[in-house]
C-alpha cells in the first residue's frame, strides 16, 4: 500500500481510505469543535510489509503517543481468505472495527481504530495484528491522529467498491465537513 495523508480544516475530519478493494469514508469527530478544542491533526504513520506469509504482524509507533489521541490500523493481505482474529497493542488500547472486511480478487482489507489511547513513549507501543491463518503479503499501516473526540471519534462509516482508482486524494462530497484526512492505499504486490 502506498499511503498519502492530507489534513485540513476546522470542524470535523473525514478519513478517506481508498484501496483497490473499497472506498471507506469515516467521519471522525464532532460536527463542531468546542471553543478552545484542538484542531484534528495527523501525527504519525508506520508500516510493516513482510514478504513471507505471517500469522501475526507487529508494528511499532516510532514517536511518543499522546493520551487521548486516536489510532487507526489498516490491514490488507493478498488473499481472499482468512480473517483478522485480533488487533492489540502493548499499551492495552481497545481496537474496534471501523470498516468491515472487504474482499476482492485475491485481496482482503479491514480497518480498525482505538479511541482515547493511553500515552506511550517513543517506540513503546507495538500494535499486533493476528490473522486466522498465515496471511500472504500482509500490509499493516498504523496511524495516529490528535484533536479528535475521545468518546465518539467515529461518526459515520460507509464503504463501496470503486470501478477505478486514481492516485491522490478524492474530495468528499460532504460539504458540511471542511476537514479531510486522506489515505491512498494500494497493496504492494504486483497482483493488483
pLDDT 10s digits, 93-149: 999 998 888 888 888 888 899 999 999 999 999 999 999 999 999 999 999 988 888
Q: pTM of the predicted model, to two decimals? A: 0.74
Domain ranges for the chain: 7-184
Q: What CATH code is assigned to 7-184?
A: 2.60.120
Is the four-CA dihedral 113, 87, 79, 48 of positive or negative sign? positive
- Check if the beta carbon of residue 142 is closer than 8 Å to that of residue 61: yes
Cell digits of residue 166: 486514481
Which among 93, 66, 103 has a CA at the least distance from the CA of 187?
103
Residue 15 pairs in a beta bridge with 26, 181
**CA angle 175-178-181, nearest 5°?**
115
Q: Using CA atoms, how far apart are residues 9 and 160, in angstroms rounded to an integer?
A: 25
Amino acid at each position: 500500500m502506498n499511503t498519502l495523508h492530507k489534513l485540513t480544516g476546522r470542524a470535523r475530519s473525514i478519513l478517506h481510505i481508498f484501496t483497490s478493494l473499497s472506498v471507506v469514508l469515516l467521519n471522525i469527530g464532532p460536527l463542531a469543535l468546542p471553543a478552545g478544542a484542538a484542531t484534528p491533526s495527523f501525527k504519525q504513520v508506520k508500516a510493516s510489509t513482510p514478504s513471507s506469509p505471517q500469522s501475526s504482524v507487529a508494528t511499532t509507533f516510532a514517536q511518543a503517543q499522546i493520551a487521548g489521541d486516536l489510532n487507526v490500523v489498516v490491514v490488507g493481505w493478498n488473499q481472499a481468505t482468512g480473517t483478522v482474529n485480533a488487533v492489540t497493542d502493548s499499551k492495552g488500547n481497545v481496537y474496534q472495527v471501523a470498516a468491515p472486511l472487504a474482499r476482492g480478487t485475491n485481496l482482503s482489507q479491514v480497518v480498525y481504530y482505538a479511541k482515547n489511547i493511553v500515552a506511550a513513549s517513543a517506540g513503546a507501543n507495538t500494535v499486533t495484528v493476528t490473522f486466522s491463518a498465515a496471511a500472504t503479503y500482509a500490509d499493516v499501516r498504523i496511524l495516529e491522529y490528535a484533536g479528535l473526540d475521545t468518546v465518539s471519534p467515529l461518526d459515520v462509516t460507509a464503504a463501496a467498491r470503486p470501478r477505478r482508482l486514481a492516485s491522490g486524494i478524492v474530495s468528499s462530497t460532504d460539504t458540511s465537513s471542511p476537514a479531510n484526512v486522506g489515505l491512498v492505499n494500494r497493496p504492494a504486490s504486483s497482483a493488483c
